[in-house]
């Protein structure tokens, strides 16, 4: 598995960002999949994301104040994928730092498959951060 990390300082409070960063919004903001369904469970929210020729469940949880999600099950482009979104005060007057860390491994047996998976996740993470920034400009 390969990991990608990116962050931005956004002119919003952690509470405002937490409200905006709900699971369906996160999936849409990443830009690769549409939201097919959302199921609220006791311990998690499962979003079924769909794209050309596939549907995959993404399981979202709160882990120690961070938003954590993973590709659930064996369906999807990754053999494994985990993502953490963390919010922390950047400075008294500067807003909130949004940090997204994602690690992924491609399901297909290709040379450099994990590099391809990290490249794909890197693009999705960047689009997510751009959407967050745009929402609070």
Q: What CATH number does the domain containing 91 carry?
A: 3.30.530.20
Q: How confident is the model at residue 102 (pLDDT cuts 50, 70, 90)?
A: very high
8 Å CB contact between 114 and 105: yes
Starting at the edge strand found earlier in the chain, the sheet holding 45-51 runs: 2-10, 95-106, 78-91, 66-71, 54-63, 45-51, 34-40
Closest CA to 23 of 40, 5, 47, 39: 47
Residues 68, 23: Cα–Cα separation, whole Å: 10
Number of domains in the chain: 1
Mean pLDDT of 24-35: 96
Residue 73 has pLDDT above 70, yes or no: yes
pLDDT of residue 47: 96
pTM beyond 0.95: the answer is no
Q: How confident is the model at residue 100 (pLDDT cuts 50, 70, 90)?
A: very high
74 or 84: which leads in pLDDT? 84
68-75: long-range contacts (C-beta < 8 A, 24 or more apart)? 69/23, 69/26, 72/46
By residue range, what is the domain housing residue 81?
2-135
């Amino acid at each position: 598995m390969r990991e990608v990390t990116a962050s931005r300082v956004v002119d919003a409070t952690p509470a405002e960002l937490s409200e905006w960063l709900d699971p369906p919004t996160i999936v849409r903001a990443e830009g690769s999949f549409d939201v097919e369904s959302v199921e609220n469970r006791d311990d998690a929210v499962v979003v079924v994301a769909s794209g050309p020729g596939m549907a995959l469940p993404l399981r979202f949880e709160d882990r120690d104040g961070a938003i954590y999600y993973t590709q659930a099950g064996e369906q999807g482009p990754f053999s494994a994928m985990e993502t953490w979104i963390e919010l922390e005060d950047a400075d008294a007057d500067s807003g909130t730092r949004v940090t997204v860390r994602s690690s992924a491994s491609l399901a297909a047996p290709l040379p450099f498959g994990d590099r391809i998976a990290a490249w794909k996740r890197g693009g999705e993470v960047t689009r997510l951060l751009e959407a967050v920034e745009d929402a609070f400009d």
